[in-house]
Amino acid sequence: MSARTIFLIGFMGSGKSTFGKKLANKLQLGFIDLDEVIAYKFQLSIKAIIEQHGIDFFREAERDTLKGLDTENAVISTGGGTPCFFDNMEWIKSRGVVVFLNLDEGIIFSRLKTTNLQDRPLLKDLDDDGLKQFIKDKLAERLPFYTRAHISFDPVHGKMEELVERLIA
């Protein structure tokens, strides 16, 4: 089966956008960042959408935007929580190959630590210990969804060529 639609899922900081762009280029597919589409649709940052309308509104907008995408011939980077709400995981699994970018907590922490946490509504008031605990708790909560992906791949230690081979096999 030749993968023409690939959904990337995983925790924030796992590289869904950065790795996704490289994977799309390698496979000669389009690239869609779900968060960017939502921000464009509302003409607000994700942070502003959540602050102004609340997390429930955002999750509904996320679901509606996801289901309105033209997903053919594209690598789609989802938000970290996207597969964990409504029937999003079943929907994406029925429309393409789902790849879980699987990183350990330490790498996620080191990546998130170097970003502006104020731009991430779920992390904005956390210190180092709080961030570590958040990652541990949220990852445990989300792993049952993430592990339902068709493919689990470590983008730090794995080779993109190996993933490409699995996708086009």
Q: Which domain holds residue 118?
A: 5-168
The pLDDT, as a whole number, for residue 117 is 86
pLDDT one-digit tens code per residue, 105-117: 999 999 999 988 8
Reported for 60-66, long-range contacts at CB under 8 A and 24+ positions apart, including other chains, are: 62/34, 62/38, 62/88, 63/88, 65/34, 65/37, 65/38, 65/41, 66/34, 66/91, 66/92
User: What is the model's pLDDT at position 100?
Assistant: 98
Provide the pLDDT for residue 1.
Answer: 37
What pLDDT sits at residue 29? 96
Left, alpha or beta for 86 (phi > 0: left; psi -120 to 50: alpha)? left
The pLDDT assigned to 169 comes to 77
| pTM for the full predicted model | 0.95
- 125: domain CATH number is 3.40.50.300
d(CA 52, CA 68): 23
Round the CA-based radius of gyration of the chain to a whole number and report it: 15
92 is written with which tokens?
Answer: 């994406």
- pLDDT for res 62: 98
**Tokens 């607000």 appear where?**
44
What is the 3 state secondary structure string of the chain? CCCCEEEEECCCCCCHHHHHHHHHHHHCCEEEEHHHHHHHHHCCCHHHHHHHHCHHHHHHHHHHHHHHCCCCCEEEECCCCHHHCCCHHHHHHCCCEEEEECCCHHHHHHHHHCCCHHHCCCCCCCCHHHHHHHHHHHHHHHHHHHCCCCEEECCCCCCHHHHHHHHHC
Average pLDDT of adjacent 10-residue blocks, the chain of 169 residues = 82 96 96 98 96 96 97 96 98 97 96 89 91 97 98 96 92
Give the total number of structural domains in the chain. 1
